[in-house]
Amino acid sequence: MDLHGPENTIRLSATDRGLRAAVALLRDGRQVAFPTETVYGLGADARHPRAVAGIYRAKGRPRFNPLIVHVSNIDAARALSVFDPTAEALAAAFWPGPLTLVLPRREGNGLADLVTAGLGTVALRVPAHDLARRLLMAFGGPLAAPSANPSGRISATTADHVMEGLSGEIAGVLDGGPTGVGLESTIIGLEDGMPKLLRPGGLCVEDIEAKLDQPLTNPEHTKITAPGQLASHYAPKADLVLNADVADAGALWLGFGPLNGRRGLSLSPTSDLTEAATALFGHLHELDRMAGESGVQRILVDPIPMQGLGRAINDRLTRAAAPRDS
Ligand code: TXA
Ligand code: MG
């Protein structure tokens, strides 16, 4: 079966012409990366088994990790899944935006089985980015889109990051500049009426709990196929040391707050968590490049407070620091 790649990856501009070209490629069953407000997604027609298989191929992604389906509005989401009152309330409050809802699949919804990796649920999201929305409208159907990075590597927040990781593996990338939020969406599971936090992300847990007027459960010990299954993720090539407070002349720092003369980059010189989230993946890409160039083995990371977006930032950093096989 020909799933494309290696091929010439085209950079498409954020114009009507670029959008038309992206839509033509997607209709042809090809894979095209596009910006969302969180990170760049690697899109393909969610109803087309070969198109979806091409996403797994391009990312080198394990088959069992299901994909998020992006739609242009809540009606399109309702056509693919079964909404309960909690889902309705969350969608009304936070869509379009950095929230993904995992809901029971609607029978005969037309999605390729590979999208949900055989689960009875489907992850859905209405992105807020203008270019993503225009693409979804012009395409006129659901787009499966995981983050546009090779499996296990740092997510892409610019078209350049996408090119570094996936050039030659995908048909194109729509260049919409750097993404705004910088962290993937928050994923909430609603399969059995109890809202569960499956992945912290760009929408603060506190905001969701305030809306629901109840705390989210944290399903560490359930069998759900959640992103946490893959302990090592978002990994730079250098070793990452969290909550560092040691002086290490040979290391590079990922700071939070002022660097005060330390070598490296600060996520936010003023200790602002929103700014830090936006900068996280870009700084990891950049520090990894700097470490490679100067032969540095270790990137030391300042402590990040465990509140608001800090929860998602710590989640990504913990995965980036986790032991890996290769
Ligand atoms: O912000 C985002 O969410 C980005 C942009 C492109 O929208 N997308 C993204 O997708 O981060 P991805 O594939 O890298 O992460 C999706 C996560 C996966 O780790 C998967 O385990 C989980 O969503 N997921 C998808 N479908 C699921 C399901 N039916 N049940 C539980 N988890 C699911
Ligand atoms: Mg990802």
Task: Say how many Å lie between the CA of residue 230 and the centre of ligand 1.
Answer: 12
The set of residues, in sequence order, having a beta carbon less than 8 Å from that of 48 and lying 6+ positions away, is: 29, 112
In the chain, % of residues over pLDDT 70: 92
The pLDDT value recorded for residue 221 is: 44
pTM over 0.95? The answer is no
Categorize the per-residue pLDDT at 227 as very low, low, confident or very high, splitting at 50, 70 and 90. Answer: very low
Ligand 1 pocket residue status of 187, Cβ below 6 Å: yes
Instruction: Report the pLDDT averaged over residues 37-43.
Output: 98
Burial (CB < 10 A; 0-12, 13-18, 19+), residue 34, is: buried
Instruction: Report the pLDDT averaged over residues 88-110.
Output: 97
Instruction: Report the pLDDT averaged over residues 309-320.
Output: 94
Q: Which comes out higher in pLDDT, residue 131 or 261?
A: 131
Report the range of poorest mean pLDDT among 76-90, 198-212, 239-253, 272-286: 239-253
Q: Which of 170, 184, 186, 203 to mutate to test the pocket of ligand 1 (most atoms within 8 A of CB)?
A: 184
Q: Which comes out higher in pLDDT, residue 221 or 162?
A: 162
Closest CA to 154 of 123, 114, 184, 192: 184
Ligand 1 pocket residue status of 144, Cβ below 6 Å: no
Instruction: Report the pLDDT averaged over residues 162-170.
Output: 97
Q: Which atom belonging to ligand 1 lies closest to the Cα atom of 184? A: 1
Ligand 1 pocket residue status of 116, Cβ below 6 Å: yes
Nearest CA to ligand 1 atom 18: 227
Q: Are 188 and 99 in contact (CB under 8 A)?
A: yes
The pLDDT value recorded for residue 242 is: 93
Q: Which atom belonging to ligand 1 lies closest to the Cα atom of 68? A: 25
Q: Decide if pLDDT at 220 tops 80.
A: no
Ligand 1 pocket residue status of 38, Cβ below 6 Å: yes
| Three-class DSSP labels, 195-260 | CEEEECCCCCHHHHHHHHCCCCECCCCCCCCCHHHCCCCCECCCEEECCCCCCCCCCEEEECCCCC
Q: Which comes out higher in pLDDT, residue 295 or 77?
A: 77
Categorize the per-residue pLDDT at 167 as very low, low, confident or very high, splitting at 50, 70 and 90. Answer: very high
Task: Say how many Å lie between the CA of residue 108 and the centre of ligand 1.
Answer: 22
